[in-house]
Each structure stands twice: as structure tokens, then as C-alpha cells.
Structure 1
Amino acid sequence: QVTLWLKKIYRNQPVPVYEVNERTVDILHDLMERNEARDRDISIVIEDMKHQEAEYDAETEEMKDNLKDLGLSLHSLSRKATRCLNDLVKSAMALNTKDTSLTSLFYAISRMTLELLETESENAEMRWELSNMKKNLMSVLMMEKQILEDIKKIEECQQAERVKIESRSHNLKFLRDKSLELKIRIRNAEEELIGRGVERSLTHEALVQSAEELVLLRKKVASMKKELKNFYDLPPVI
């Protein structure tokens, strides 16, 4: 089928050599269908134009007969009448009417007026939709701008907070290292003092422990004093 179509297209000329495979055949087949569809459309348009031409010819003959019955002819008409007649024919062709009768002309004018009103209504609706789309677009753009600004502020705050956290982490590490260093120095000093004959009870660790025990003893003494005071406040037994 494709081969016959190619021969028909090229007529007496040889068909160019092409690679025959499924893809090329599909492409040529699709092209063939499109070409045949276009030819059919052109044939329909030509037939319609021939039909209109026949109608206009028949109308012309009828008009000639009418003029002949009135004792007139196209050549005997005045220039103004000829111009009016030509305008009437052009109007009928522009309005795509089947004849030049007033009924056909008025119907065509009414139909085109209605189509014009519908088109204007559609255009107004499209303008309204376009206006709404512009408003929505502006709103979205403003929202996007605000979101970008908020994101920038958040990133700046996060960056500042990150700097603070890093600074605190650095300070905490410094304090931990310093505390460890002091503990090591205190332990070394205590060991040195013990090595020189100083009692272990005078070391830093022992003093800290003694201070903690002293705090506990003070709390215990305060509690006992409170109980003793309550005992003294009791009435004497007679």
C-alpha cells in the first residue's frame, strides 16, 4: 500500500531508495494517511466551491431572466445600479449565503451578530480569567518573596545560633580541659606532699571530704538542737 502510494506521488520518476523496516514503513504509512486525508479535504472544498459557483450561476441566470422580463439587461443598468448589484453579490459572498434574498442576508447578519456577541462574551470571560490569574500570580509571587525572606532570616538566626553553640562548646571544652589539668596538678602536688611526709588528711581530696562531712555534721547538730529546744519547751511534770 505504501509502495503504491509512493509510485502515485512520484508518477514517472523513480521512487528514492529507503531503508525498509518497521519504523520507516510506519512513518510513511502515517504520512500517506495524512496526505490522503488532506486530499479528501481539498476535494470536499473544491466540490463545495463548485456547488456554490453553480448556485451563483443559477442565481445570475435567474437575475438576468428577471431583468429581461423587466425589459432590462446588465449592460443597460446605470453605473450606480451596477455598483449596488456588485455590492449585493459581494455581501452575499462575504456572508456565505445561498442567495441574495433579503431573508438570507438578514439571517446571515443575525447569525454573524450572534457569533460576534458570543465571541465578545468569551473574550470578556477570558479577560476576567486572565485578570484573576494575574492577581493570583502576583499573590503567589509576593508569598514566594515573603517565604524567601523568612528563609533568609531563619538561616541567619541559625547561623548566629550555630556560632553561639560552637562558642559555648569551645568554652565548655576549655573548662573541661582546664579542670582535668587542675585535677592532675592537684593530684601530683598531693603525691609530692605525701612523699615529703605530709599527712594524707591534709590533702585536697581529704580536705574536701572533711568539708563535706562537716556540712553533714552541722546539719545533724542543727536538727538535734531543734529537737532539744522542743523538749525544753514542754511543760514541767509535777
Structure 2
Amino acid sequence: MCEKIEKVNSWLSAVFGDQPVPHFEVNTRTVDILYQLAQSSEARCSDTSLLIEDLKQKASEYQAEGAHLQEVLLQGVGLSYASLSKPASDYLSALVDTAMVLGVRDTSLGSFMPAVNNLTNELLEAEKSNRRLERELRALRKRLGATLVLRSTLQEDVNKSVKSQAVESAQAEERLLNMDFVTAKAKELANRRERAEAQLVSRNMDKSITHEAIVKLSEEVTALKQEIIPLKKKLEPYMDLSPNPSLAQVKIEEAKRELAAIDSQLEMNMDFK
């Protein structure tokens, strides 16, 4: 633990330099985290130092090779960069820039051709990947269109279902209110009927004047009226005959008695009604 704390303090001092190190809570977790950061930082710094040294070495090699080529050109051909014409200088600069873009070690044809071939292969792969991505994009757009149409249809169905449910809910509520009203009315009528029956019982009402009794008497009166009709038809043939005074008188008296009895029964029934 103490070794980790010393390493962390040393790393923090190197990181912040002349600035004071911020205060932090010293515990096992914070020390472990800072120790891991210190190790990662040192490993990264070591890798960076190696890379810098390698780049410096390559730069020195390129400088030495450039100086050698300049000396060869100057001594062998008698040319220097300052003695070149402007087009030649421009071509040389373009050649150097191309070599830097391609990342080749020198400007020889043997270095340029593999680099150009690599770039061509990368371009072909990029175009191939681009065509594949375009096909996938078209397929995605097609699926997206179908999905949007389906979503629109589903949304319309949902809206219709919501409206239908709202209407059905309103109808159900209305039916419930009507049922409550009918139930309450039926209960009220039953109570009124019970009170009316109790009042009739308390007043010793004659059952012969009830609605059922009156309906029955009316049916009996109608039946008696129907019985009178054939009797009247029996008397019709005798109305045109010259009557035998004695026999006619007897028949008339019998008919009068029958009519009187029927009229009496009819009046009695009518009185009950």
C-alpha cells in the first residue's frame, strides 16, 4: 500500500509540475485507481518516447539521404535545387508532396507503383462497399416505407377503436342509467302496489268490484247478448203470421218472460259493471 502511495504521489507531482496537487481522499479504492492510471500513463509515455525516437531516427536518415542525393546531383550532374527552373522545381515539389501523401520511403518508381496499386485496391473496395451500402439503404428505405404505411394503418385502426370504444362506453353508461331508472321505478311501483293493496285490505273492499271481476262480468254480458240474437231470429218468422189469439198470446207471454228474464240478468250484470 505504501509503495502504491509513493508511486501515485510521484506520478501526480510529475503530472502537475509546479502546480499544487489537488487534495483527494486517501483510501484503498482511490489509491488503486490512481495507481492504475499512473501505470497506464507511464506505459503510454514509454510508447510515445519510443515512437518519437523512431521518428527522429527516420528523420535523420531521410536528412542524410537527402544530403547525399543533393551531393550526388551537385557533383555528378552539376545540378542544385537553386539552379532548377520553375517548372522543374514545381514538378519536384509535386513529386515530393505525392510521395508524402502516398507515404512512400522515396520517390522511385518501385515505391510509387505499389502505393498506387494499394490506393487503387482501397478505392475499388470503397466503391464495392459503397454499392453494397446503397443496396442496403434502398432496402431499408423500402422497409421504412412499408413500416410507415403499416404504422399509419395501425394508427387509423387505433383511432377507430378508441372512437368505437368511447361510443360503446357512452351507450353502456346510458343503458346502465336507464336500467337504474327502470329498477328504481319498478321498486317504486311495487311499493305503491303494496301500499294500495294494504289500503284495500284495510277498507274491506268487495272483491266483486275488482278489475278482474268486472272483466269477467263484461265477458258474461257479451255472452248473454250473443244468446239473445238467435232468440230474436226465432221470433222473426212469427212476426208476419196472423196470430191465433190464444196460441199467440201464450207464445207472446213465453217470449216476454224469456226477454224479461234476459233483460233482468243483463241489467243485473250492468249494475255490477
TM above 0.5, yes or no, is: yes
CA contact (8 A) 1:98 1:104 kept: yes
Give CA-to-partner distance per residue, 1:19-53, whole Å, 9 cap, x none: 32234324423432443344234324323422432
SS across alignment from 1:19: coil
Change (3 A) 1:206 1:85: farther
Residue number in structure 2 paired with 1:28: 34
CA contact (8 A) 1:52 1:98 kept: no
Tell me how far apart the structure 1 counterparts of residues 165 and 22 of structure 2 sit (CA, whole Å): 70
Q: CA deviation at 1:171?
A: 1.8
Residue number in structure 2 paired with 1:18: 24
Residue number in structure 1 paired with 2:118: 111
Q: CA deviation at 1:157?
A: 1.0
CA contact (8 A) 2:74 2:80 kept: no
Give CA-to-partner distance per residue, 1:129-168, whole Å, 9 cap, x none: 3444444344434433433332222121111111111222
CA contact (8 A) 1:92 1:105 kept: yes
| Runs of 4 or more consecutive aligned structure 1 residues displaced over 6 Å after TM superposition | 201-207
Residue number in structure 2 paired with 1:169: 176
Give CA-to-partner distance per residue, 1:86-111, whole Å, 9 cap, x none: 33222222211122210111111111
1:49 and 2:47 aligned: no
Count matched residues. 207
Can you give the 5+ residue segments of structure 2 that lack an aligned partner in the other structure? Answer: 1-6, 215-273
Q: CA deviation at 1:182?
A: 2.3
Tell me how far apart the structure 2 counterparts of residues 176 and 13 of structure 1 sit (CA, whole Å): 90
Residue number in structure 1 paired with 2:104: 97
The TM-score with structure 1 as length reference comes to: 0.69
1:153 and 2:160 aligned: yes
Tell me how far apart the structure 1 counterparts of residues 104 and 91 of structure 2 sit (CA, whole Å): 17
SS across alignment from 2:77: coil
The TM-score with structure 2 as length reference comes to: 0.61
Can you give the 5+ residue segments of structure 1 that lack an aligned partner in the other structure? Answer: 208-238
Return the structure number with greater relative CO, CA threshold 8 A, min gap 6. Answer: 2
CA contact (8 A) 2:104 2:112 kept: yes
Residue number in structure 2 paired with 1:120: 127
Give CA-to-partner distance per residue, 1:103-133, whole Å, 9 cap, x none: 1111111111212222233334334434444
Change (3 A) 1:131 1:91: same
Change (3 A) 1:55 1:126: farther
Tell me how far apart the structure 2 counterparts of residues 165 and 206 of structure 1 sit (CA, whole Å): 44
- State the superposition RMSD in angstroms: 3.3
Change (3 A) 1:11 1:178: closer
Identity score, percent: 38
Give CA-to-partner distance per residue, 1:193-234, whole Å, 9 cap, x none: 333333568768999xxxxxxxxxxxxxxxxxxxxxxxxxxx
